Structures are given as C-alpha cells and as structure tokens.
C-alpha cells in the first residue's frame, strides 16, 4: 500500500526507482547485498513489512524475520555502501496508555508481537547511525498510524464494502489514533529524506508522520459514511453502533490511545499536515472514479 504511494511521488520527482517485491526477500542478507551491488542506489526506502497484526501473535518468528532482521540487513548494506535509508515503523511500539500525543522520545512498550518486531527493526536501523556525521548519510525512521490508501486492504475500503451491504454496523470506540493517507505519508517522509524538491534532507533519527486530527475507529467510520454518502456512493448503512473492544476480541491487543505527536516532522518540513478528513475526501473521490 505505502510502496505504491512512494513510487508515485518519486516518479513525479523524476527520480529513478528500482522497485522490488517478494523477489527480493529483505530477510535474506546475501540477496540484499547483491541487489544493492547490482543497482547501486543512493537511497533505500523500505516499505516492506509483515503487517498482519493478528497473525503475528502466532507467527512472531516470521514477523521478526521481516520486521526486525529485514531492516537490520538493509541498515548493514546502507552502512557498507554509504546509502541513505528511510524506514517505516508504527504507533504500535507504544503501550497506548498515555494522555497526550506520543513524541518521538516517549517510552516504548509494544503490547503485541507485531509491535515488538517493528520496535526491533527501528532499533537495528538506528544503531547504524554511528559515524553518520562523517559520511553525510541520513538514516530516518518514520512512525505512522492507521494507514489507508490504494493498493491494499485498509479500514476505509473495508468500511465501504460493509456499508454497501449492511444497514447496521458495530465499530470499536475505545481505541483512538490518527488516520493517515498513504499519499500524504509518502510526500512527507520522502520530503524528510530529501527526495522531494521541497527541502534538503532532515536530520537523522525518528519522526512521527500522520494526518492531523484524532478519532476512534467509530468516529472514523462515521466520517467515512458521511463523506461517502455526500459523494454519491450507494450505501445501505443507516446506523453505526459504538462498541467497546471487549465486544470485538482480536488475537493482538491494540493500544487504546496511539495518537502520535507530529510537531517534529512538521517543523522539519516547514508545514502542517492536513486533516485526515480532507485526505479521506481525496481517497473517496479516487475510489468513486474507479
């Protein structure tokens, strides 16, 4: 999902991209090295991940291989070949018991296997920062949350499908976060990496990027329904009940409050991030034209 948006921004910027999918397993160090030797990039943008949050509970080793060992392999090759590295992580590295938005230096405490595997990846990537000053290389970890966009299953697409079929929906109200459009994330993250014309690369380190505004999944679903109806989607849903997470048990615990503070990234980019409601509008308009 994110990789498609990243490619669209890089294509607009007329930057050559060698995009890989499963044919390059980032968990396989020798393959990663030969890929870099063959293509000699200046930057690595890692959008690959094991993202099935619930399955990760039973498959933690597999999740760790992709989300922990994979980024470590990319970081190692970036250090050897002096490449810039842009990597993505998640709000699920936090416990979700805070009362104000999480800053980049807030204490981490993942509640599930996916979050643990992503935290390991962050740590392995950031440990390559040593000696970064001399080479001028940048290594950035961009944490984001609640992604939606083209190219993969996501909450907005799932809701649209359900809303077309059912009159009544039940959606969880006791988890709060910041929905984020992949196009907006790609623009901001590539800006931080110095890959758009906007500005030079920001400093190395962790950045939080998310659309503005916070909501619950129930609030998000209500927003989607209202906007989709206004855009003329054919929908059957009339009522969305707010339910507690305990009524919708999942294998992996979710952080109740995973709102990211994006002050640092916005300062580095010199602009504010737009509200998620505007981004949802753009995404729905695109889907409406499909």
Ligand X SMILES: NC(=O)c1ccc[n+]([C@@H]2O[C@H](COP(=O)([O-])OP(=O)(O)OC[C@H]3O[C@@H](n4cnc5c(N)ncnc54)[C@H](OP(=O)(O)O)[C@@H]3O)[C@@H](O)[C@H]2O)c1
Place of tokens 């290594």: 139
45: contact with ligand X by CB under 6 A: no
**Cα(21)–Cα(232) distance, integer angstroms:** 36
Query: By C-alpha distance, which of 269, 81, 92, 99 is closest to 185?
Result: 269
Instruction: Answer yes or no whether residue 50 interacts with ligand X by CB under 6 A.
Output: yes
Stretch that binds ligand X, among 138-146, 170-178, 233-241, 266-274 (CB under 6 A): 138-146
Are the CB atoms for 102 and 259 separated by under 8 Å? yes
Residue 70 interacting with ligand X (CB under 6 A): yes
Which of 92, 114, 181, 257 is the catalytic position? 114
* Contacts with 38 (C-beta within 8 Å, 6 or more apart), sequence order: none
Contacting ligand X within 76-105 (CB under 6 A) = 88, 90
| Total residues in contact with ligand X, by rule CB under 6 A | 23
Question: How far apart are CB 67 and ligand X at their closest, in Å?
Answer: 7
Catalytic, 114? Answer yes
Q: Which of 280, 98, 254 is nearest to 175 (CA)?
A: 254
Which of 77, 85, 147, 171 touches ligand X (CB under 6 A)?
Answer: 147
Phi, psi of 109 (to 5 degrees): -165, 75
Contact residue for ligand X among 73, 144, 204, 258 (CB under 6 A): 144
Tell me the CB-side half-sphere exposure of residue 57, using CA atoms within 13 A. Answer: 9
Which region among 22-30, 192-200, 227-235, 246-254 touches ligand X (by CB under 6 A)?
22-30
Closest CA to 171 of 258, 235, 241, 239: 241
Which has the closest alpha carbon to 185: 56, 31, 5? 5
With respect to ligand X, which residue has the nearer C-beta, 142 or 225? 142
Stretch that binds ligand X, among 20-28, 94-102, 158-166, 280-288 (CB under 6 A): 20-28
Binding mask 244-273 for ligand X (x = CB under 6 A): ------------------------------
* Residues 151-163 as b or e (16 or more Cβ within 10 Å = b): eeebbbbebbebb
Minimal distance, residue 11 CB to ligand X, in Å: 17
Q: Kindly state whether residue 36 participates in binding ligand X, applying the rule CB under 6 A.
A: no
Binding site for ligand X (CB under 6 A): 1-2, 21-22, 24-27, 47-51, 66, 70, 88, 90, 118, 144-147, 152
Q: Which residues are catalytic?
A: 114
């Amino acid at each position: 999902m994110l990789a498609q948006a990243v490619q669209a921004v890089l294509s607009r910027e007329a930057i050559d991209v060698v995009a890989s999918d499963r044919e390059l397993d980032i968990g396989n160090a020798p393959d990663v090295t030969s890929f870099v030797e063959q293509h000699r990039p200046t930057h690595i943008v890692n959008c690959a991940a094991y993202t099935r949050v619930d399955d990760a509970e039973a498959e933690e080793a597999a999740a760790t291989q992709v989300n922990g060992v994979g980024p470590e392999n990319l970081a190692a090759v970036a250090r050897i070949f002096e490449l810039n590295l842009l990597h993505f992580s998640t709000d699920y590295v936090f416990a979700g018991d805070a009362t104000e938005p999480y800053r980049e230096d807030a204490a981490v405490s993942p509640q599930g296997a996916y979050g643990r595997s992503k935290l390991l990846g962050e740590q392995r990537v950031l440990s390559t920062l040593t000696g970064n000053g001399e080479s001028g290389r940048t290594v950035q970890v961009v944490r984001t949350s609640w992604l939606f966009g083209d190219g993969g299953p996501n909450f907005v697409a799932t809701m649209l499908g359900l809303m077309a079929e059912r009159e009544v929906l039940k959606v969880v109200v006791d988890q709060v976060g910041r929905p984020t459009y992949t196009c907006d994330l790609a623009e901001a993250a590539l800006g931080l990496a110095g890959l758009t014309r906007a500005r030079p690369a920001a400093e190395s380190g962790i950045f939080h990027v998310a659309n503005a505004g916070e909501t619950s999944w129930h609030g998000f679903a209500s927003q989607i329904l209202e906007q989709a109806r206004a855009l003329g989607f054919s929908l059957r849903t009339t009522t969305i009940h707010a339910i507690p997470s305990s009524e919708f048990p999942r294998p992996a615990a979710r952080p109740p409050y995973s709102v990211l503070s994006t002050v640092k990234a916005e300062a580095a980019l010199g602009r504010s991030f737009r509200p998620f409601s505007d981004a949802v509008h753009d995404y729905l308009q695109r889907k409406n034209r499909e």
